[in-house]
Structure 1
Amino acid sequence: MEAAQADAVPFEPDGTQRLQWHVYILCGLVAFLDGFDTQAIGPAADAIAASIGIEIKDFGPVFSASQIGFLIGAMIFSALGDRFGRKRLLVAGTLIIAFSSLGTAFAGSYHELVAIRILAGLGLGGVTPLFISLASEFAPPALRARVVTMLWAAVPIGGMMGSFTSSVTLSQFGWQAIFFIGGGAPLLLVPALVFLLPESREVQRGSNDHGAPRLRVSPIGALFGEGRGVATLWLWLASWMIWMLLVVVGVWTPSLLQRAGWTIPMAALMLGLLNAGGVAGTFLIGAGLRYVPPQRALMLALIAAAAALVMLGTFAHSFAVVAVAASLAGFFSSAAGGCLLALSASLYPERVRATGVGWSLGFGKTGAVLGPLCVGLLLGFQWSTASIYSAIALPGLLAAVLVFLLSRTSTFRAAIKQ
């Protein structure tokens, strides 16, 4: 059905196409920086831990700190964006990312680092539902799922660059250099966001004669109104499982591989391959949504990601197998994240879309907070690398079941046909 709809999309005037590409490119750059900051800390974790005087097994709360900030930012910024302007909140979130990344480089103690990473997560979580909802709003309805999923590819591209940059800078310039880069780039992007990115049309329609956004009833209740309650519940639970999987794989893979005997640069390289697989998977599966329903693609991607993670842990001492398994894990897990965002954006109407995406992300990030802490506990209990990766794979299988339940709701069926 979507293929037929896509073929029926009318030709857009040049001005409209130019505006759409401005939105896609700028939102993609924000997504890129989101991925860069999120993944940069993983390869640097051992060096940071040594610098502030803690053991790597105690680094779990640092990883979880940014996830706590993420869930708060995703929920607060999305609701504020739907009411007061998605563009202005996106600019504010980008500035927070910049200053918190620079602050990470100057953290001198464990408690300072945790506080700064909470702030970093606030910005990272705040911008994500906003760039997703803006890109979704300006995309033709028949292409929305593909645009959102392929936009998500910018996140693993940023993560891949963060991983590869870390592998180079760690030995030559120290771990602080990666965060100087991660802080400077968002500052350079802010002027482009201010002058080139349009404001949401929904917010513009809600403005008064003086251009100030008119206050409206909170959109949060709309996520459960009009028969959406059951669909929202399944979406949130699936998001919980998927984000636990995504974040744990990203932040703990370098340390788990080092525990299996890999050097820091080689572990960072494997994380880079994981992100490279994520780029390819998000683009290819995003393009494939022309032919495959997003819920079916998401279920298949989750099952395949779980299988790849089990393979990665089981053969952690084999360079060739780990390289393939890491690439496949990135391919399918990142594609799953993109498909999930596409489903979130499709489930809710435009007036509350940022809130719908943001609260789904926020709830999902509670799983992302718990996941790194659990891996730290498993390391403390002396679990093997293979056993830990098998445990990480389990949420992927559970998420596939939850997506199936979501796809059976009447609300989802009605929304996906629009």
Structure 2
Amino acid sequence: MTDHGIDVHEELASAKVSAFHLRLGLVMGLLTLFDGYDTFNPAYVIHYVAGPWGLRGGQAGLLISSGLIGFLVGSAVHGLVADRFGRRGTLLGGLWITSIFTVLTALFADSFVSYCLLRLLTGLGLGVLLPLATTYINELAPRRVANTFSLWGVALGWALGGTLAGLAGVFATPVFGWKALYWIGSLSFVLLPFLHAQLPESPKFLMLRNRPEEIRRLLGRLRPDRAPLYADATFSAARPAQPVNPVAVLLSAKYRRTTLSIWLSAFLSLFCIFGLTGWIPTVMMQRGETFSASFAFGAVMQVMSFLGGLAVGHLIDRVGRSRGLLAFWWAIGGLSVLALITYNAHVMNLAAVALAGFCIIGAQFVLNNFTANSYETDVRATAVGMELSVARVGAILGPLVAGLLQQTYQSPTPMFLAIGLAALLAGAIILCAARPASEWTGAAADSGARREGTAALTDRVASNAPLQGA
């Protein structure tokens, strides 16, 4: 690493939130809105096709999981592509794939097999959007507001997308049929020209690829007050001594405990999320709720998930202790699901589902950010992609296992038991991960400085600590 020039990591970490930051957050929010919408709309298809297509519980679960299988492949591969060729092109490619196969689903999905095949291909694009948007925004966000900025820029869009899927299920499908979900989803084509024109490359990726002119222009937009300084400046940042396999780095002695803890927690978390969201509309109708109320439960979960993620992210930004807060959030969410075993009344159903969304999905939003902050720039996209790839195995199994349990026992009780216990276990496992370097920095700074001094020291060291092997 050179010891002269402007440190790109420091410039990004210590920046104030500018208008350009906010525009980029809006772009990421719009992108992940379509991701969230497309991910959750299969839950509203089951009601219409289960009878005509003769589906049993396990097959209905596969209807939900087919897109997640493609997501697993896409999220596993995208990190390697993005770390090699750049964040911008990979994000655009993911949205093109998602948009094209969403339209093809509306046009040609007329059987169980054709629907699952088209959903699998759509998932290849979806597997890029959420994990890479998380990586992208973490590389641009000022460090002292990283969790909050990521939640507003990524999680809000994803939660709104899931909410819109629920609203489309309630209001559009009774009139136009279930394919209306995919015609609405095809509006993502409208976003593509805007992204092609406005989306910049990640400055940290530009640094690693030695593209100083693009770095000057981008840093000047992110920090306009320092633009004159960048005009003739040289830039420094750590570079790997030699090419390495990023997946091998994740499992090296330095990161192994954190990587395995994150993977297991993410697996269990998405098992809960997709097992619950995929079946909530159907199960609630079985429990005596009306059609509109049952479909609206999915929208309630998504609205509450953003609020829950925002709350825990804000707490982490203020006090640190991300592992303990994530564990607490998952524990409360798990207990709320277990409460559905004992009680079945409209108010209780609504409260338990809302709390499950607030805590379980809210914690998952912050786990994505926790992952991005736990690794170096060179492997960060791969780390987030691999986290969500492993997690997608849980997401695939969640609806399948939930469907098979209902098919076997003719009751949702075993499903609630499995999901509640999985959430509790996810909270216990995340406590085994190492604390992110920024939290250690904050703890040290508190003993010797307050307010601005603390924030400045935290930003300075947090941007370099992962590069020094902390």
What is the match of residue 324 of structure 1?
Answer: 351
- Opposite residue 305 of structure 1, the aligned amino acid is G
**Which residue in the other structure is 1:351 paired with?**
378
The equivalent of 2:314 in structure 1 is: 287
The correspondence of residues 175-214 of structure 1 with structure 2, limited to 5 A, is: 175-184=178-187, 186-207=188-209
Please say if residues 82 and 90 of structure 2, whose CA atoms lie closer than 8 Å, have aligned partners that are also in contact. Answer: yes
* 1:348 and 1:415 in contact (8 A); partners too: no
C-alpha distance in 1 between matches for 2:98 and 2:185: 8
CA shift for structure 1 position 27? 0.9
For the 8 Å contact 1:149–1:341, the answer to whether it is kept is no
Q: Is the 8 A contact 2:308 2:357 kept in 1?
A: yes
Q: Which residues of 2 match residues 161-180 of structure 1 at below 5 A? A: 161-180=164-183
The counterpart of 1:160, out of the listed 163, 167, 191, is 163
- Matches of 1:209 and 1:136, distance apart in 2: 20
Aligned partner letter, 1:103 = L
Using the alignment, how far apart are the partners of 1:22 and 1:216 within structure 2? 34
Q: CA separation in 2, counterparts of 1:10 and 1:85?
A: 23
The aligned residue for residue 148 of structure 1 is 150
Aligned residues of 1:299 and 1:403 also touching (Cα < 8 A): yes
Superposition pairs of residues 13-412 of structure 1, within 5 angstroms: 17-55=18-56, 57-105=58-106, 106-150=108-152, 151-184=154-187, 186-207=188-209, 217-225=244-252, 227-292=254-319, 293-316=321-344, 318-406=345-433, 409=434, 412=435
Q: Deviations over 1:225-253 (max 9, x none)?
A: 36111211111111111111111111111
> What displacement does 1:274 show?
1.5
TM-score with structure 1 setting the length: 0.89
CA deviation profile, 1:336-360 (whole Å, cap 9, x unmatched): 1112112101101122211111101
TM-score (normalizing by structure 2): 0.80
- The count of residues paired between Structure 1 and Structure 2 equals 399
> Who wins on radius of gyration, i.e. which is larger?
2
The separation in 2 between residues aligned to 1:99 and 1:53, in whole angstroms, is: 28
**Partner amino acid, structure 2, of 1:92:** G
Q: How far, CA to CA, are the matches of 2:137 and 2:105 in structure 1?
A: 30
Pairwise CA distance, 1:208: 6.5
| CA distance 1:116–1:327, change in 2 (3 Å) | same
**TM-superposed deviation, 1:169:** 0.7
For the residue of structure 1 that corresponds to 2:200, the secondary structure is coil
Unpaired segments of 5 or more residues in structure 2? 1-12, 215-241, 441-461, 463-470
Match of 2:390, as an amino acid?
F
Instruction: Identify if the C-alpha distance between structure 1 residues 384 and 34 changes in structure 2 by more than 3 Å, giving closer, same or farther.
Output: same
- Does the 8 Å contact 1:234/1:402 carry over to 2? yes
Tell me: CA distance 1:349–1:415, structure 2 relative to 1, closer, same or farther (3 Å): farther
- 1:4 aligns with none
Structure 1 stretches (4+) deviating beyond 6 angstroms?
208-212
Say if 1:294 and 1:342, in contact at 8 Å, map to a contact too. Answer: no
User: For the structure 1 residues 210 and 415, does the alpha-carbon distance in structure 2 shift closer, same or farther, using more than 3 Å as the test?
Assistant: closer
Q: Is the 8 A contact 1:77 1:127 kept in 2?
A: no
Change (3 A) 1:207 1:346: closer
> Letter of the aligned partner of 2:201 in structure 1?
E
**Partner-residue secondary structure (3-state), 2:432:** helix
Q: Tell me the CA shift for residue 263 of structure 1.
A: 3.3
Kept after mapping to 1: 8 A contact 2:206/2:212: no
What are the Cα deviations for residues 167-211 of structure 1, in whole angstroms up to 9, with x where unaligned?
001111111111100122x11111111111111123322447799
| Shift in alpha-carbon separation, 1:75–1:327, aligned structure 2, 3 A | same
- CA gap 1:211/1:109 in 2 versus in 1, 3 angstroms: farther
Using the TM superposition, name which of 307-316 and 24-33 deviates more. Answer: 307-316
CA contact (8 A) 2:58 2:401 kept: no
Please state how far the C-alpha of 1:90 moved relative to its aligned partner.
0.5
Q: Could you say what the CA RMSD is over the residues aligned between the two structures, in angstroms?
A: 2.3
Are 2:71 and 2:127, in contact at CA under 8 Å, matched by a contact in 1? yes
Check whether the contact 2:312–2:326 (CA below 8 A) recurs between aligned residues: no
Cα deviation, residue 395, structure 1: 0.9
Q: Write the distance in 2 (CA, Å) between the matches of 1:366 and 1:57.
A: 16
Instruction: Tell which deviates more after alignment, 58-67 or 198-207.
Output: 198-207
Paired with 1:209 and 1:380, the residues of 2 have a C-alpha distance of: 57
Contact 2:166 2:299 survives alignment (8 Å)? yes
Task: Give me the whole-angstrom Cα distance separating, in 1, the residues matched to 2:396 and 2:88.
Answer: 27
Give me the whole-angstrom Cα distance separating, in 2, the residues matched to 1:103 and 1:53.
23
Distance change (3 Å), C-alpha of 1:352 and 1:50: same
- Counterparts of 1:55 and 1:225 in 2: how far apart (Å)? 43
Query: Offset at 1:363?
Result: 0.7
Where 2:177 maps in the other structure, the secondary structure is: coil
Answer yes or no: is the 8 Å Cα contact 1:303–1:400 preserved in 2: yes
Q: What secondary structure is seen at the aligned counterpart in 1 of 2:318?
A: coil
8 Å CA contact 1:145–1:346 kept in 2: the answer is no
In structure 1, distance between residues paired with 2:92 and 2:437: 34
Aligned to 1:3: none
2: CA distance between counterparts of 1:210 and 1:294? 35
159-168 vs 279-288, greater mean Cα deviation: 279-288
Distance 1:279 1:352, change over 3 A: same
